[in-house]
Copies of this chain bind each other. A is one copy, B any other.
Amino acid sequence: MRVLAFLNGTVADPDAPHIRVEDLGLMRGDGVFETVLVADGEPRELRPHLDRLARSASMLELPEPDDEAWQRATRTVIDNWTGGEFALKLVYTRGVDPAGEPTAFALGLEIDPKVFAARRDGVAVVTLERGIDPGLAERAPWLLLGAKSLSYAINMAAVREADRRGAADVIFTATDGSVLEGPTSNVIVAKDRTLYTPPPAIGILPGTTQAAVFRGAERAGWSTKIEPIRAADLTSADGVFLSSSVRKLTRVHTLDGTPLPDSTAIHAELAQAYESVYA
């Protein structure tokens, strides 16, 4: 099933066309989005997602999102959803006329069965060059590094490249050999009861699920550090994980074709710590 709600709270048929061809979201990838996991009828990390939507919108100089209206639309989709756990997309574009109304909708979607398999079995990942240095985001804000924009063609192409290499996902690396992020996830590394993730300032998205995992892990006695990670150090970690709203914490079992040390026990512990945040 699918449920579509516009920002005024109206529910619409997702099979019908609702977007004009001139919408700048379509013509220029000129907009921002969020993907929220809805489990047990509750949107997880909605506040951080809406904060990040506002941050992305600000980076693209879109009008400030109407927070209450987004919360209402979110609630409308949830109220009209009759299945179980689902993915909620929040999409906000510059609309047809930059001086006019933005386009804004919330869309509930079924979760791909492959996602459940990835949560359970982990994934093979390849590292791919992203071609940028860690200082670029601060020097060149017009490159929108760290904004969750609709211009995701590169992210999709990277996943196709992973598929060609027999893997399911990607860890992007910077020109200095440091770890950036996945095309649709953050990277979390476990080593000696400490969790590491790179700082957003290097040009990556601040992770909503990463933050939730860190909160849960801290309660369970882990230390956490936000600091640069060298790609060369991934193979000697106790565990490498990708975090994203819908896939939650996904274990990386193979990196660039080489099996990583077995992290199933650590994954089980961290997955439980993450779930405990919502218990």
A positions within 8 Å CB-CB of B: 2, 4, 14-31, 33, 59-61, 89, 91, 93, 105, 107, 109, 128-133, 136, 139-144, 147, 149-158, 160-161, 175
- Chain B residues whose CB sits within 8 angstroms of the CB of A143 once the complex forms: 130-131, 154, 157
Closest 6 CB pairs of A and B: A29-B29, A151-B151, A151-B153, A19-B19, A142-B161, A29-B151
- In the complex, the answer to whether A153 meets B157 with C-beta atoms within 8 Å is no
17 A-B residue pairs with CB within 8 Å = A17-B18, A17-B20, A19-B23, A27-B150, A28-B150, A28-B152, A29-B149, A30-B153, A30-B156, A61-B157, A130-B140, A131-B132, A132-B132, A142-B161, A143-B157, A144-B153, A149-B151
Which residues of the partner chain B approach A89 to less than 8 Å between Cβ atoms? 27
Please give the count of copies of this chain that the complex contains.
2
List residues of chain B with CB within 8 A of the CB of A24. 156
Taking each of A18, A20, A158, which has the highest tally of chain B beta carbons within 10 Å of its own beta carbon?
Answer: A20
* Nearest B residue (CB) for A22: B14
- Look across to chain B and name the residue whose beta carbon is closest to the beta carbon of A107: B21
A4 to chain B, nearest CB (A): 6
- The answer to whether B18 and A20 touch across the interface, beta carbons within 8 angstroms, is yes
Q: Classify the interface of chain A: helix, strand, loop or mixed.
A: mixed
Cβ distance A165 to chain B, nearest Cβ, rounded Å: 10
A16 to B27, CA, bound (A): 16
In the bound complex, how far is the Cα of B93 from the Cα of A17, in angstroms?
15
- Residue of A24, A29, A175 ringed by the most chain B CB atoms within 10 A: A29
| Contact among B20, B25, B140 with A16 in the assembled complex (CB-CB below 8 Å) | B20
Quick check: A140 and B151 within 8 Å, CB to CB?
no
Task: Contact check, B136 vs A133: say whether CB atoms are below 8 A apart.
Answer: no
* A134–chain B nearest beta-carbon distance, Å: 11
A28 to B29, CA, bound (A): 7
Whether B152 and A30, one on each chain, are in contact in the complex, defined by CB atoms closer than 8 angstroms, is: yes
B144 and A157 contact, CB distance less than 8 A:
yes
Q: For A22, list chain B residues within 8 Å (CB).
A: 2, 14, 107, 109
User: In the complex the two chains form, is A91's CB within 8 Å of B60's CB?
Assistant: no
